[in-house]
Chains A and B, each alone.
Chain A
Amino acid sequence: MVKIRKRTIGLFVTITLLIFCVMPIFSQGSQENRSEKDQSVVEIEFYFPEGFNRPLAFGKVIEKFEQAHPNIKVRTRITPYTEFITSLAIMWAANDVSDVVLTNSPDIKQYAYEGALLPLDDLFPKSDHQYYAPGIIEDVLWEGSVYGAPIWDSAVGLYYNVDMFNDAGIEAPKTLDEAWTFNQFVTNVTKVMKTAEKNQNQKVWGMASVNNPLREDYWNMWIIRSAGTEDSNTFKSISDDGTKLKGYLDTPEAIEALKFYQKLYNEYGFMPKADIPDGFGTGQVATYLGPISSGWTFTNNFPNLNWDVMPLPYFVTPITHTGSFAPSIAARTKNPEAAKTFVKYLSSAEALITYAQYNESLPGRIDIRNQIPEFSEGHSIMFQELNEKWGRSRPMSPGHTIYQNIISRDMMLDIAYGADVERTVSDAINAAESQLRRYVR
């Protein structure tokens, strides 16, 4: 009798444990249940990466949107920026797709090619394209149709440490016309660097960026592209259909530029081969390649830093990279109308002005830029000019993520670390073209 009871107790314990496993499932209802009850309200999901007050900024915009459109509710889904692409891929693989996705504009071609996005021509008709800086429109087009809302744009800019420059007696160019060539740039900034090193008794770098060595085409490929004249293959850096690199990335001018790039990291000791977090803020870096938002970061966090902006250097043709996050609508969405209404609202002046109060992103439409005070003063002026006069979208390809990984990341890292340039370039081109072959039409 005693034995049977003990066995029953064991059974009982096991079953209780199983119930414990199952219980939390019911206590944490997924939010989808709520919307099913109220049929007149449509709920859409908006997916974007974390960073720089985006949740706050979008929160305010969504608030206003929901007030104006009471029958649509917007639910947000956020992932860390570093895992954004991975999460997106998993989402798509599991058919768990958000309705509106904040895509990186150069990737739009790839997603459009795969049929993952809805065309948005009714929201951004051809007649409107004139109001935008040309770069961002180029980014969001695929086979003539717009697949991402070109509501933001950007430019790569160059910040410099005013005190360091003054100490070395160097005056930085203040307008685009005064921009230095790369040779002038390296000569002058090396002087600044060495003076600062003597003063501070520690290593000071000529130029650095958020990630060192430079890892994305946004930050590094403009250097190579500027070595070509405006219509040359070097400037284009990739074939028009985005699948061929031979004859574009390995032209004599491009190889020259890559060798120069390598020297920056090695011979000249000009750029660091490892990250220097907050290097510019703490006075270890003379110039800093950064986005428009860095200016406000420096002011808020490093009160002792005296900084300003200067135009980017160039070899033959001045250039800066543009593009930004663009909301796009998933093809598999169940609520295309609601999603389109939301995206249309996001592109309105009201939404962009509200958004800019919390996250300073340059609007895509030039006429809206002029309506936001922050963008008409201080360093924003230089960024706007860079965007409008020198701005080019990054090398466009339906296989853009592959290009990013093999060329802008792996190949450029290998070159920065000192590998043989010609061999690395030809290896990388072979690897990339074999993957990009899938996208030849």
Chain B
Amino acid sequence: MNTFTILLKRGMRNIIIALSLLFVVLAFSIPYLWMIGSSFKPRAEIFQYIFPFTWRTFVPVSPTFHNFVELFTTFKFGSSIFLSLYIAFLTVVFSIVVCSMIAFVLAKLQFKGRTLLFFYILATLMVPFEARIVPLYLVIRSLGVDNTIAAIYLPWIADAFVIFLFRQHLCEIPKDFYDAGLIEGCTHFRVYRSLMLPMITPAIVSAILIKFIWSWDSFIWPLVVIRNPRLQVITVAISNLFSDQDILWNIVFSAAFVTTIPVLVVFFMLQKYYIAGVTSSGIKG
């Protein structure tokens, strides 16, 4: 094989890689860009330039901030955002703490009935949520917490996925680490807190993102459980814009755009934990 063929092959490979990347970037970002563009368009313009696709589909011909002003004044969206943020924060904090503790128990502590506990948790994933709405609501009512914020996030704290995820990562930490911690005279809890948790940082970060997005995007449950018209989470607030007689598209898009911002912020803050090599330090020698 001469140099020319090698260079050609490498050139071809680079072109293919570049094209695939371009395709990926476009495929993933186009809908989002369209949403942003539409949120700055007046109502009459949003669907004017959809068919056919041109640059005008994405860039407003007469851009306006009116939609956002309306969103925060007439529709009081700011309070919805605060409410959703508050709920998401509580969900994430409680969930990470509670789930990591029980995952630790499942992964590291040996005791009779451990497998039973594991399946006890796993089985909860199997019943679709929609089937549980009515009885769960009844439980919430009998606890006396219906129509409160707690009713929204309490059922989300113990999440079998997250428990499973943590357990998965904890299992992969070699036993030597764990025993080392114990020998130095720490209790299991201390080992859990200071040694194991930092080691599964990427899993915790994933869990934060999952629970945050899950809580942020949830619709049916907050809808069912809250009667107070002043406590509307963002998804319910957006859904209010779809009525039998009209759909306030300009507000829908500006609201949708605004709701993606906190999630992106959370993600950017957690970015650095995904850099390879942060936790890979293995056992030397």
Contact = CB atoms under 8 A, between A and B. Distances in A.
Interface of A: 2-3, 6-7, 10, 14, 17, 20-22, 24-25, 28, 30-31, 45, 49-52, 55, 76-83, 87, 90, 93-94, 96, 202-203, 210, 276-279, 281-284, 291, 293-294, 297, 301-304
A284 B101 CA distance: 58
18 contacts: A3-B185, A6-B189, A7-B189, A24-B90, A28-B149, A49-B243, A50-B240, A55-B229, A79-B236, A81-B244, A87-B224, A90-B133, A93-B134, A202-B51, A277-B249, A279-B47, A282-B44, A291-B244
Given A24-B149, A294-B245, A77 B133 contact: no
Interface of B: 43-44, 46-48, 51-52, 90, 94, 97-98, 101, 133-134, 137-138, 141, 144-150, 154, 157, 185-187, 189-190, 193, 220, 223-224, 227-229, 236, 239-240, 242-247, 249
Contact of B134 (A49, A94, A276, A297): A94
A303 B227 CA distance: 38
Nearest to A218: B244
Given A78-B229, A96-B141, A50 B243 contact: yes
A152 to B, nearest CB: 13
A282 B138 CA distance: 47
Nearest to A282: B48
Given A82-B239, A281-B47, 10 more contacts: A21-B157, A22-B150, A24-B90, A25-B148, A31-B228, A52-B243, A278-B46, A293-B245, A297-B245, A301-B44
A301 B145 contact: no
Contacts of B90: 24
A77 B245 contact: no
B138 to A, nearest CB: 5
Contacts of A52: 243-246
B137 A76 contact: no
Given A55-B229, A76-B229, A90-B137, A21 B154 contact: yes
A10 B187 contact: yes
A57 to B, nearest CB: 13
Contacts of A278: 43-44, 46-47, 249
A216 to B, nearest CB: 9
A85 to B, nearest CB: 12
B47 A277 contact: yes
5 closest residue pairs by CB, A with B: A51-B243, A80-B239, A10-B189, A50-B240, A28-B148
A90 B154 CA distance: 19
Please indicate which of the listed interface residues B148, B229, B243 has the most CB atoms of chain A within 10 Å of its own CB: B243
Given A21-B94, A50-B240, A93-B134, A202 B47 contact: no
B47 A276 contact: yes
A300 to B, nearest CB: 9
B54 to A, nearest CB: 11
B242 A81 contact: yes
Contact of A51 (B220, B236, B244): B244
A10 B47 CA distance: 57
A302 B185 CA distance: 74
Nearest to B133: A90
A80 B98 contact: no
A203 B145 CA distance: 54
Nearest to B130: A86
Contacts of B228: 31
A369 to B, nearest CB: 19
A194 B245 CA distance: 28
Contacts of B243: 49-52, 80-81
Contacts of A93: 134, 137
Contacts of B249: 277-278
Contacts of B150: 21-22, 24-25, 28
A25 B225 CA distance: 14
Contacts of A10: 187, 189, 193
A440 B144 CA distance: 40
A277 B249 CA distance: 8
Given A6-B189, A87-B223, A281-B44, A96 B229 contact: no
A45 B47 CA distance: 39
A45 B145 CA distance: 18
Given A17-B97, A94-B137, A80 B189 contact: no
Nearest to B224: A90
A118 B52 CA distance: 54
Contacts of B220: 83
Contacts of A78: 229, 240
Please indicate which of the listed interface residues B141, B224, B236 has the most CB atoms of chain A within 10 Å of its own CB: B224
A17 B94 contact: yes
B251 to A, nearest CB: 12
A206 to B, nearest CB: 16
Nearest to B240: A50
A20 B90 CA distance: 9
Given A202-B51, A278-B46, A17 B246 contact: no
A25 B245 contact: no
A76 B228 CA distance: 8
A228 B193 CA distance: 77
B34 to A, nearest CB: 13
B217 to A, nearest CB: 15
Contacts of B94: 17, 20-21
A46 to B, nearest CB: 11
A96 B193 CA distance: 43
Contacts of B144: 25
Contact of B146 (A7, A14, A96, A203): A96
A163 B147 CA distance: 52
A203 B97 CA distance: 56
A112 B189 CA distance: 60
A83 to B, nearest CB: 6
Contact of A297 (B51, B229, B242, B246): B246
B263 to A, nearest CB: 22
B248 to A, nearest CB: 9
Given A94-B138, A284-B51, A82 B242 contact: yes
A79 B187 contact: no
B167 to A, nearest CB: 19
A78 B138 CA distance: 20
Contact of B187 (A6, A49, A281): A6
